[in-house]
A and B are shown apart, each in its own frame.
Chain A
Amino acid sequence: MVTIENLHFSYSRHTVFNGVTMKLEAGKIYGLLGQNGVGKTTLLKIISGLLRVKSGSCRVMEHNPFNREPGFLGELYFIPEDFTGPDMEVNKFARLRGEFYPNYDENKFSRLMTEFEVNGNEKFTRLSFGQQKKAIIAFALSTNTKLILMDEPSNGLDIPSKAQLRRVISQASSDDTCIIISTHQVRDLENLIDPIIILDKNGVLLNATIEEISRKLCFELSPMPGEGAIYNEPALGGYIVVDRNRSGEECKVNIEALFNAVLLNKKLIKDIFNN
């Protein structure tokens, strides 16, 4: 679906990517994690054709995304972090744009709007930020595009809406679609995103499925810090300990602890996952 090879990108003198390589496949919901400024949004913009790569290559569904060909754009939807809708009714917005997407499903849009409890007859400008976000997510999922890119989709959503968001995204996922979600709020999307991609300034630190992570790492709540563990984090009732999985038994992945463990042990984690 997405093939990125030796990607270099910079904003004038500020280098964002320096030789990033990764492959993203259909049928998965990728979680794109990283600290502020490592280039999560930039990566999504490159994939959706909003930015041009300086060197290296990015191919999306066999297209060069920056050519922005209609056939390519009809199979991709990008939801920016701070989406602000135009001064028009949500239903009209969806009807006018839906025509351009070959697989747009108006009934699905109505169903998702009902599920999100957003009135489609209201203008965007009369909706709260969270409601606007839910409306655009409903539209994005109704386009049935092969690739959906979401930048911080849970930002601005209340607690029930986050649960609704997880539900509708998991329902929208199919073997043909690839969803990439960039987020800081890993807890909002836990049990949804798989595989996990962790970026840092020098490239991809981790790109692994939850199954692979749980096979190689072990996450435990322990009364004491783990001796020689990869990472210890104080928590209620003791410490979250991240260590190599020596028993071979799979354990539940704590994405937040994983993220911190990866950031503090970049080389070690790369070694563990490259082997």
Chain B
Amino acid sequence: MNEFFDINRFFKLVRKEYSERLPVILKIAVIFSLLLIGFWVSVIVFNGSEVSAQARVLYIYAATFLSMLMAPFNLYKSYNHPKKGIDYIVLPASAMEKFLSMLLNSVIVLPLATFLGVLLADTLIATVNPSLFEGFAIAKLGTLGVVAEKYGEAVIIQLGFIFGNFLFIKNKVFKTLMSAAGLYILFAMVIMLLLTTVFKSDFEALQNMNTSIKVESISELGNITGSEGLTSLLKGFYYSVVVIFYVICPVAFLGGTFYKMKTQQY
């Protein structure tokens, strides 16, 4: 028997996990769908104006993203609990199998259930009451590439929340949010420190330039051209952010979560 990963045991675990956690997954999906239905009812009751499909797409993405952040705290909050966590940790499956099944439920199953649930509710309402819910949100979701990019970025943030869930034993949500805020402030301070010390001359040149720079998204920094010093500074900043956000953060969150799962003591 492979002690690190066994595909049959993994499927057994996925089946067990899915069977046990399905009620919670459905509950979250239903809550977000009911919120949309409640909004529709309130628009009818208060004679509100029609709601564009674009605005509802925004809600669908927001609901899916929120469900992703909630997933670890709802599905796996007991994993490192000194008493409640014992049942799961002594289950004869490897840490890798438990880790992957946890990711499967948190990163794919719950967000997908929420996304489909809200989308279904929107489609039903738009069919029943097209005058208020104009158009179908499903038609305005964007290209697969855009959806995949947004989902990928959401997953990276979610991985941080998953790590927080395994790192903290009590007040997990609060401590995770505080840690995220702390990391953000730390990152901003490091950037400021670099700009005012290491890249001081470039920064001063930038301040004295009679040029306005409009950046719609961080990825546009990678396309910047012009002044040699300024370009290299901004590109350097851009690539640093990309490497930190897309490589270091996910690797650290995933590695940290796996390490905590493997070495958690009870």
Contacts and interface: CB of A to CB of B under 8 A. Distances in A.
Interface of A: 45, 48-52, 68-71, 73-74, 76-78, 80, 82, 84, 86, 88, 92, 96-97, 99-101
B94 A70 contact: yes
13 contacts: A49-B90, A50-B86, A52-B265, A68-B90, A70-B93, A73-B92, A73-B93, A76-B90, A82-B83, A84-B84, A96-B16, A97-B16, A100-B91
Nearest to B5: A70
Nearest to A97: B91
Contact of B1 (A48, A49, A50, A70): A70
- List 10 A-B pairs, minimum CB-CB distance, nearest first: A74-B92, A73-B92, A50-B266, A69-B3, A100-B92, A96-B16, A70-B92, A51-B265, A99-B12, A70-B94
B50 interface: no
Given A51-B265, A92-B19, A96-B20, A71 B1 contact: yes
Contact of B90 (A48, A84, A88): A48
A100 B83 contact: no
Given A70-B97, A100-B16, A101-B92, 7 more contacts: A68-B95, A69-B3, A70-B9, A70-B92, A70-B93, A80-B86, A88-B20
Contact count band on B: 20 to 34
Contacts of B95: 68
B228 interface: no
B216 interface: no
Contact of A70 (B6, B16, B83, B265): B6
Nearest to A46: B265
Nearest to A75: B92
Interface in B134-149: none
Contact of A78 (B20, B90, B93, B263): B90
A78 B3 CA distance: 20
Most buried by B among A68, A80, A84, A97: A68
A146 to B, nearest CB: 13
Contacts of B86: 50, 78, 80
B125 interface: no
Interface in B89-127: 89-95, 97
Nearest to A78: B90
B29 to A, nearest CB: 18
Contacts of B13: 100
A70 B265 CA distance: 17
A71 B3 contact: yes
A67 to B, nearest CB: 8
A84 B92 CA distance: 19
Nearest to B6: A70
A45 B85 CA distance: 13
B240 to A, nearest CB: 38
B16 A69 contact: no
